[in-house]
Every structure is written in structure tokens, then in C-alpha cells.
């Protein structure tokens, strides 16, 4: 007799939502390696140079034990300067960092207002924390304001926290950051900006869409290192007080083995490339323009087709034609909005992008016939 897990998997299969791991194949229109750095010679040489000067691969323990390496501290100092913040703290990954922020910083009696399409890592952190929480309509600053005012009117006396992505990972649209900052200032709230998909690509020197807000005492930002920066890990930018509080109270930081010192050294090279090689962003912008489909105008271009089967059929047809495009289905996206998530990167040429655009039009036509 099948057990609970077998029945759950069978139910997913019947609904067309059973997920499996697939090998890489075809032209890359699926990864988050937007600047083409992950397999670049520049990062390979940075790793080789670090190894040659004795940088360790593993940390050997948590940062509060023996795992605090000079490479961690060098990266954090450089990242704080690069992004224009008072301090930085390096985590092993973006999920861990988001979970750490929201499970640790908002206190009992506070309120977290989060965009309804926020990353799952934020939601899990919020649920593990002590603060009340409520969703707000996507990219609706007025809905955030209303939620805080309703909470105050009902007797809320703590501090509000506003959680958004600067560039949304499944839609490629941008948050109204200036309007949200005005709301945060008016309500003595903290604004937490997840820059995961903007880091390295958007803003001056690839510093993200919230670059002009950095350094304020009511801003916390997260910059992942495993997407456009081509490595792994994540940096939380904040005031020194918030950094020290995370070091002392954050369970995902205190009880985790520290990130690889070697990766910390490589991320420093990624930040240098962002500052000194603006041509990469310019070249990426040309590829985005060459795509010509989708409405986001950014390097994330969703093609929403509705049903799960339509999305998987379309992705399979494009794979046969040599394009690695993945179908995204609920619960990652809302019901009825299954889609292809087209990621434009420097791992493909402008001609490749134009070819995908043409192939996609063909396959959409066949799907509609």
C-alpha cells in the first residue's frame, strides 16, 4: 500500500506538477548567470590566485568559532564600500540570508508587510519569526501604507517592516522603491529590499535598484552572489547595529558552518568586474532589446501561457529546437499563470536571442492552432 509520500508524488504527477532534475542542454535561457561570470576565466583565475596564496576551500566551523576567515572580513569590508552601506555580513546563500533577516530582526509586536509575490525564502523567514505579518498587493505602495495604518488603528505599537524585491524574479518588474521609502519614513518603518535579481545588472556599477537608498538607517538590503555575480552566497547590507544583532541572535548565522573563504575571495573579483567592466551590462542590455517579446523590459522576460500543460509543452518544444527554457508552474507562480521564464544572459549571443524569439513565436502559434 503506498505511503504518504508516494501518494503525494502521484497526486503531483496527475496534476502535471511533478518536478524532476534535468541536465543542462541547449542554449542557456534558464539560468540566473546574467553576466556570464560563473564559468568565466576571470573568476577561475581569481580562484586560482586565492588558492596559490593559501586561501582555504572550507571554513572549518561557524564564524563564531574558528570559521571566521580574513577573506570573509575582506569581502564584507569591500562590499560595504561597493554598495555604500555601513556594514555587510556574508551568508552561505540567498535563501539562508532572507530567512535569517526575517526570522531574527522583526520583533514580537512588530508587523511585516510583504509584497504578495515576495521570494519564498522571505515568507519562510517571516513564518519562523515572532512578528505579525500581512501581504500587500503586488507593487502597490498604497496597499502597503493602508496595511500599516490599519494595524496602527487596531492597536499595533511595534515597528513596521516592509519587504519587497527590487526586481521580481518571475515577472521581471521593478518595485516602486521611492514611494515605499516615503511610506517607511512616514511610519518609522524598516524597508528591506531583496536585490537578488538586480545585483550586478542594474543601478550604478551594478549596485542594484536601491543603490540610491543605501546608507540610510532604515534600509536593509540583500545582494546574492550566486546570480549575476557568478559565485555563491549572499551579502546583507545594513547598519553596524543590525549586523551586530545578527551575529549575536541569528540562528542561521550562529549555527551554520561559515561560507567558503575561497568563494569570498572570488566574490571580491565579481565586485571588481561590476565596477570596472560596464561593457558587460551594456552588452546584456543589447540582448534584452533583441528578444522583443514579453513586457518587462528587463533581463527577466516571462511568457505567461496560463495552464501547466501549455507551459511544459512549450518548454519541451523549445528544448527540441536547442533552447534551454524552463516552465514555471504553481505554487512558484499564482494559479492560472504558468509561464516560461526567459532569462537573458551573456551566455548567449544577440543572434541566439533573436533565434529564440522567432522560435517562440512559431511554437506559440502552433499551441494556439
Q: Which of 121, 166, 169, 270 is catalytic?
A: 169
Is 194 annotated in the active site? yes
Is 165 annotated in the active site? yes
Q: Which of 227, 232, 260, 269 is catalytic?
A: 227
By DSSP bridging, strand 27-28 and strand 338-343 are unpaired
How far apart (Å, rounded) are the C-alpha atoms in residues 197 and 219? Answer: 18
How far apart (Å, rounded) are the C-alpha atoms in residues 4 and 1? Answer: 10
How far apart (Å, rounded) are the C-alpha atoms in residues 257 and 368? Answer: 51
How far apart (Å, rounded) are the C-alpha atoms in residues 363 and 319? Answer: 11
How far apart (Å, rounded) are the C-alpha atoms in residues 273 and 162? Answer: 31
Q: Within the chain, where are the H helices?
A: 4-14, 41-52, 70-83, 94-104, 120-128, 141-153, 177-186, 240-249, 251-254, 261-276, 279-291, 308-320, 350-368
CA 23, 25, 29, 33 torsion-angle sign: positive
By DSSP bridging, strand 87-91 and strand 234-238 are antiparallel
By DSSP bridging, strand 338-343 and strand 300-306 are antiparallel
Give me the residue label for grid cell 522603491: 177
Q: Which of 82, 133, 197, 299 is catalytic?
A: 197
Largest separation between any pair of C-alpha atoms in the chain:
63
Is 169 annotated in the active site? yes
Q: Following CA atoms 205, 230, 61, 65 in sequence, which dihedral angle do they give, to the nearest 10 degrees?
A: 0
- Concatenating the DSSP letter of every residue in 220-250 gives EEEEESSSTTSS--EEEEE-HHHHHHHHHH-
**What are the backbone dihedrals phi and psi of residue 165, each rounded to the nearest 5 degrees, phi first?**
-95, 145
Q: Which of 71, 115, 165, 308 is catalytic?
A: 165
Q: Which of 28, 69, 194, 195 is catalytic?
A: 194
Q: Which of 28, 32, 132, 347 is catalytic?
A: 32
Annotated active-site positions, please? 32, 119, 165, 169, 194, 197, 227
Amino acid at each position: 500500500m503506498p505511503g504518504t509520500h508516494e501518494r503525494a508524488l502521484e497526486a503531483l504527477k496527475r496534476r502535471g506538477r511533478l518536478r524532476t532534475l534535468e541536465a543542462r542542454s541547449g542554449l542557456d535561457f534558464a539560468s540566473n548567470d546574467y553576466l556570464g561570470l560563473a564559468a568565466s576565466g576571470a573568476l577561475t583565475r581569481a580562484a586560482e590566485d586565492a588558492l596559490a596564496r593559501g586561501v582555504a576551500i572550507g571554513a572549518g566551523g561557524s564564524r563564531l568559532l574558528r570559521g571566521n576567515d580574513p577573506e570573509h572580513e575582506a569581502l564584507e569590508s569591500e562590499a560595504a564600500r561597493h554598495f555604500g552601506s555601513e556594514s555587510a555580513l556574508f551568508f552561505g546563500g540567498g535563501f539562508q540570508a532572507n530567512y535569517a533577516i526575517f526570522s531574527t530582526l522583526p520583533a514580537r509586536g512588530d508587523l511585516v508587510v510583504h509584497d504578495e509575490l515576495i521570494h519564498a525564502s522571505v515568507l519562510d523567514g517571516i513564518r519562523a519569526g515572532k512578528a505579525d505579518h500581512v501581504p500587500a498587493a503586488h507593487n502597490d505602495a498604497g496597499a502597503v501604507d493602508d496595511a500599516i495604518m490599519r494595524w496602527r488603528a487596531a492597536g499595533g505599537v511595534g515597528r513596521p517592516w516592509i519587504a519587497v524585491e527590487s526586481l521580481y524574479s518571475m515577472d521581471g518588474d521593478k518595485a516602486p522603491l521611492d514611494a515605499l521609502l516615503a511610506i517607511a519614513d512616514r511610519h518609522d518603518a524598516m524597508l528591506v529590499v531583496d536585490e537578488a535579481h538586480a545585483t550586478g545588472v542594474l543601478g550604478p556599477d551594478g549596485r542594484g535598484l536601491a543603490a540610491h537608498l543605501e546608507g540610510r538607517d532604515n534600509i536593509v538590503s540583500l545582494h546574492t552572489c550566486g546570480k549575476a555575480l557568478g559565485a555563491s552566497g549572499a551579502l546583507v547590507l545594513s547598519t553596524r547595529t543590525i549586523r551586530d544583532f545578527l551575529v549575536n541572535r541569528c540562528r542561521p548565522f550562529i549555527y551554520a558552518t561559515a561560507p567558503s573563504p575561497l568563494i569570498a575571495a572570488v566574490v571580491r573579483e565579481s565586485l571588481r568586474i561590476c565596477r570596472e567592466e560596464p561593457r558587460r551590462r551594456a552588452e546584456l542590455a543589447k540582448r534584452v532589446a533583441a528578444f522583443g517579446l514579453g513586457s518587462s523590459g528587463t533581463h527577466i522576460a516571462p511568457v505567461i501561457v496560463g495552464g501547466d500543460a501549455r507551459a511544459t509543452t512549450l518548454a519541451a518544444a523549445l528544448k527540441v529546437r536547442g533552447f534551454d527554457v524552463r516552465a514555471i508552474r504553481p505554487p512558484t507562480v499564482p494559479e492560472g499563470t504558468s509561464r516560461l521564464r526567459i532569462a537573458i544572459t551573456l551566455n548567449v549571443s544577440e543572434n541566439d536571442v533573436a533565434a529564440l524569439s522567432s522560435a517562440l513565436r512559431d511554437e506559440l502559434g502552433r499551441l494556439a492552432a
